[in-house]
Structure 1
């Protein structure tokens, strides 16, 4: 089911949580709403769900105006960061609860719950209670429960935000695989750029109640519309007056070493700099530098192999050049 938001406005006193927001979310897509705290992403999600009313604007699901419809009438599954499971019910009972209150036949409920337990990989804990599950297992149970009633749309409000990094990584991969199997239109709110890049078909970046840009992860990362999008979706450095991704900066002991053999004609300007700090981060190495001419600090990311060859250390003088410079649509 597709979702269209047209001219959405929502104010809390003088604060504009949503300021003339319009967005189309294609059927079957996994779209992330990404932005800093207070950007309006959760307000937009809650408005789509019918949990918050708009001051003005229209929300359509599959072409039907649901702006005044209740959450129950919108046929939406919703998963919050802190999911409130029924503590007295087993995993199996929690997943089947929505079907039970809809008075579906027992055989249908049993079949659907069996299918979802297999999909989310919780067959072996189906008789346990929520208190006996890990955080990741509880969130998978929450997603299965939301999917049990075959919603038109699945809305996820930072569902992995309270979990540790390793569990988040595992659940991100699992969510992507789940979406490929289920194909329900999914909208994910997150402030985690890596999470959005990892799981999304499309990303909408919000800032101060407005949408800055919508597109595929590659579009937004490689062709940002403005400085805010470029700097929010991934790290950026300012080198020679230009905004550059740290991994697109080449470091050399001499100016000539910064020119790649495949394109020696690309001239974005070589900068002499001093190494402030070198941090090894597994495969990558982060190099913190200061430009000699301007005193401006910037960061480059190089491979561990390049670091082993260059043997960079604090206090050394090196040369840096951008190999790629994003073309911004606006400043």
Structure 2
């Protein structure tokens, strides 16, 4: 089921939560709405769900105008950050709830619930109550409950935000596998850049109520439309006016760091002198925190453990730096 949002506007007094947002979400995709707090991503999700009204604009699901339809008539599954489980019901009863109120037959309910318990890995926990589950298990139960009624669209509003980092990582991978199995059109709201890059087919970046860029994770990471998108999708450093990724920085003990066949932007970033503030070993990678000798500005480079060992970096060392790649921002070349 495709989702189309055309010319969406929503204001709260002087605050523009959505400012002329138009977005196409392909059928069967997993699209992340990514942005900082107040960017409009949750407002957009709630408008798709029918939980918030738009001032102006139209929402289509599979070509049908649903802008004025109630949430119950949109065939949407919704999962919030907080699980909203029925505490007096078992896992099995929670998952079956939506089917029961739709008056499905007992045999159909049993078959569907068994299937979903297996898909989300909760078969052995089906007789437990929500307070007997871990946070990750409760969220998987919530996803199963949303999927039980075969929604046209699955909407996830920061579903893993209340979980610790390790469980969040596990559930991200699990959600991606689940989506590959069920293929329901899914929209995920998140402020976590890594989560969006890890899970989504497509990412829509919002900022101050406006849509900045839409594309695949690779497209947005490698070809950001502007400085905001580039800086929001990962750490950046500024070398002689150019924004670069930390892993696209080369370090050397001498200024002889010429780059063969460098493009104009990379060549323009030049070679600069910096001092080492701190060296942090992160397994295979090493993060080198640096200070620009000319401006005093601090920035970070990421190099391999082998390169770090070869350079023998120590705090306070003088080092030379250049970019190996400078992304071409659309706003910089327009």
Q: TM-score, normalised by structure 1?
A: 0.97
Q: Distance in 2 between matches of 1:39 and 1:248?
A: 29
Q: Does 1:307 find its partner at 2:304?
A: no
Q: Tell me the equivalent position of 1:22.
A: 22
CA distance in structure 1 between the partners assigned to 2:82 and 2:138 by the alignment = 10
| Aligned residue number for residue 34 of structure 1 | 34
Q: What pairs with 1:233-272 in structure 2 (closer than 5 Å)? A: 233-256=233-256, 258-259=257-258, 264-266=260-262, 267=267, 268-272=269-273
Which whole-Å CA distance do the structure 1 matches of 2:80 and 2:261 have between them? Answer: 52
Q: Distance in 1 between matches of 2:145 and 2:261?
A: 58
More deviation in 77-86 or 264-273? 264-273
Secondary structure at 2:331's aligned position in 1? coil
Question: How far apart, CA to CA, are the structure 1 residues paired with 2:305 and 2:221?
Answer: 23
1:295 Cα offset (Å): 2.4
1:4 CA drift (Å): 0.2
Matched with 2:109 is 109
Q: How many Å separate the matches in 2 of 1:52 and 1:283?
A: 46
CA-CA distance at 1:72 after TM superposition: 0.6
RMSD: 0.9
Q: Secondary structure at the match of 1:255?
A: coil
Q: Who is 2:297 aligned against?
A: 296
Deviation at 1:314, TM superposition (A): 1.0
Separation in 2, partners of 1:294, 1:12 = 42
Aligned to 2:217: 217
In structure 2, the partner of 1:280 is: 281
With 266-275 and 178-187 compared, the bigger mean Cα shift is at 266-275
TM superposition shift of 1:283: 1.8
Q: Any unmatched runs of 5+ in structure 1?
A: none
Q: Following TM superposition, by how much is the alpha carbon of 1:265 offset from its aligned partner in structure 2, in angstroms?
A: 3.8
SS in structure 1 of the partner of residue 330 of structure 2: coil
In structure 1, the partner of 2:82 is: 82
Worse-matched range after superposition: 74-83 or 275-284: 275-284
Kindly report which structure 2 residues correspond to 1:25-64, keeping only aligned pairs within 5 A, or say none: 25-64=25-64
Counterpart CA distance in 2 for 1:243 and 1:180 is: 35
Number of aligned residue pairs: 327
What corresponds to 2:71 in structure 1? Answer: 71
2:175 partner SS: helix
1:294 positional shift: 2.5
Shift of 1:41: 0.2
Q: Distance in 1 between matches of 2:88 and 2:101?
A: 16
1:146-188: per-residue Cα shift (whole Å, max 9, x none)? Answer: 0000000000000000000000000000000000000000000
Distance 1:197 1:283 in 2: 21
Structure 1 window deviating more from structure 2 (247-256 vs 42-51): it is 247-256
Offset of 1:304 from its aligned partner?
Answer: 1.6
TM-superposed deviation, 1:82: 0.4
Q: Write the distance in 2 (CA, Å) between the matches of 1:12 and 1:140.
A: 34
What is the match of residue 198 of structure 1?
A: 198
Q: Distance in 1 between matches of 2:306 and 2:165?
A: 26
CA distance in 2 between partners of 1:310 and 1:121 (Å): 48
